Structure formats: C-alpha cells, structure tokens
Structure 1
Amino acid sequence: MIRTFQPNDLERVMELWLSANGQAHDFIPHSHWEEYFDAVEALLPQASVFVWETNGRILGFLGLNGRTVEGLFVDASARSRGIGKALLDHAKQECGALTLRAYQKNEGAVRFYRREGFLIQGRQTDRETGETELILCWEQRRNAVP
C-alpha cells in the first residue's frame, strides 16, 4: 500500500536509498553515495515522499520536489512486482507532469521510464560523477480516451 512518508520512516528509507543506489549505479563508487548520505537524509523529509509498505515493512519509496522525481527506489527483494510502477503512477496522478534525471548507464531505469511513457528531452553531465544523465519528461495526455 502507498502512504505518505512519516518521520519514523527515515531510517528505513535511507537504508533503501543507499543500497539501491549502490546496486543500480555500479559505475559510480559506493563512496559517492556514502558521502552524500547525510545531506540526503537532511533534505528528504522536506520533499513529498510516498512509501510502499507491505506487512509493516517499507519496500520502496518515491521522492518528489514539485514535479521533479528526485528518486524512486525499491528493495532488491521486491523488484519486478509492480511497486515502482505503482509509486510512479501515484506521482503521475498527483502531478499530471513529471521530470526526472537518470544516468544513461542505468539502462534498466531508462527502459522502465521509457516504458512508463517518459520521453528523453535532453542530456547533461553530472558535475559530481562526470556521468551522462538523461532528462526524461512525462505529461498526462489531456484528451486521451480512457
């Protein structure tokens, strides 16, 4: 079930953030994520965060800053079960238009977002890592037939 982030979720959400970043971005040293851990931990409660919880355990979360998806993370044991899609669909309903950045080398994430209707709008170099990021955008179709 999807629910709004609560302050007591922070430890588990940050655990997911660190482990999922390390797994998805094996082309970036794990020390990079460890270096930014404290900053993300401080900023995360200021974002709009939605968590997926099953049997009292958080298995995924999505963070929004306005209409920008700052991150979508799912526990390795729960991937490919629709949790990421459900969280993204929730954000789509909340916002009507979304933007995000994904590392070009994170091919699984890029495929996922493209499958979910995101279009590549541009590329940029992440100053911190030197890696190419894709800028992806999604917008709800106004006149789409259900």
Structure 2
Amino acid sequence: MIKELDNSKIDSIMKIWLEANISAHDFIPADYWKSNYEYVKNALPDATVLVYEEGNEIKGFIGIIEESYIAGLFVSSKYQNEGIGSKLLERCKQEYSVLSLDVYARNIKALNFYKKHRFKIKEEKENDETKEIEYSMIWKL
C-alpha cells in the first residue's frame, strides 16, 4: 500500500536510505552518506514522502521536493526487483505532470530504471560534493 509517510517512521526510511545509498554508490565512500544522514533526516518533513508499506513494514519510499523534483527513490535491498520502485514512481506520475531528478552516471541500475520509465537525460554535470558525473533527467506527461 502506498501512503504518505507517518513522521514517527522516519527512522525506518532513513535506514533504507543509508543502506541503499551505500549499496548503489560503491564508487562514493560510505562516510559521505553517513555524514549526510542527519541533514536528510531533518529535511524529510519538508518533502512529500510516499512510502510503500505492507504488514506495517516500509519496503520503499520516494521523496518529492519543490513540487516535482525526485530527491530520492529507495527500496530496501530485501525487496528490490519486486516492482516497488515502479509502483512508487507511477503513483507520482499520477500526481505530477513533470518530474525531474539527478542520477549518478555510474549508477547504471538506476539510470536504466529511469530510462525504462521514459525519463530523458537533459544535462550532464559534475556533482559539486562528490565530483562524480551525474545526469539531470526529466519526465513529462
């Protein structure tokens, strides 16, 4: 079931956030993600966060900021490849006519996922903090 985040469950999604970032971005030191943990946790209440929850367990979530920017889409490693990310993304496509995001070029799995969902690369740039190449992508209804 997809629903808005109950703020009492922020720790649950932050666990998924940290685990997924470290796993998906092995080209970035884990300390980078750990050092950004509190910043992201404190920013979550200002975002629209939808969670995929079954049996009182959060299996994934998506965060939208600035009315159309996907700040993150994460699925617990235990539940990846079950269509949860696609369901979360499709739900957002029902609510927004434009969605944008940034994805690291070296995160091939995520890049292919967004291409499959009809996102197009609009710009290539270097991330200021990590110095990694990332793509700005966009989807329009």
Listed as ranges, the gaps of 5+ residues in structure 1 are 141-146
- Aligned letter for 2:9? D
User: Who is 1:67 aligned against?
Assistant: 68
Cα offset for 1:96? 1.3
The 5 A counterparts of 1:1-146 are 1-65=1-65, 66-140=67-141
Cα offset for 1:45? 1.2
Q: Deviations for 1:78-133, whole angstroms, at most 9, x for unmatched residues?
A: 01111000000011111111000000000000000000000000111111100001
Q: Deviations for 1:27-86, whole angstroms, at most 9, x for unmatched residues?
A: 000000000001000001110000000111000000000100000000001011110000
Query: Alignment length, in residue pairs?
Result: 140
User: Who is 1:144 aligned against?
Assistant: none
- Aligned letter for 2:115? R
Return the TM-score normalized by structure 1: 0.95
Q: Secondary structure at the match of 1:11?
A: helix
How big is the alpha-carbon RMSD for the aligned residues of Structure 1 and Structure 2? 0.5
* Structure number with bigger Rg: 1
User: Who is 1:143 aligned against?
Assistant: none
Distance (whole Å) between structure 2 residues aligned to residue 80 and residue 38 of structure 1: 28
Listed as ranges, the gaps of 5+ residues in structure 2 are none
Moved over 4 A (4+): none
- Aligned letter for 2:23? Q
Return the TM-score normalized by structure 2: 0.98
- Aligned letter for 1:84? G
- Aligned letter for 2:41? E
Distance (whole Å) between structure 1 residues aligned to residue 74 and residue 45 of structure 2: 16
Distance (whole Å) between structure 1 residues aligned to residue 9 and residue 134 of structure 2: 29
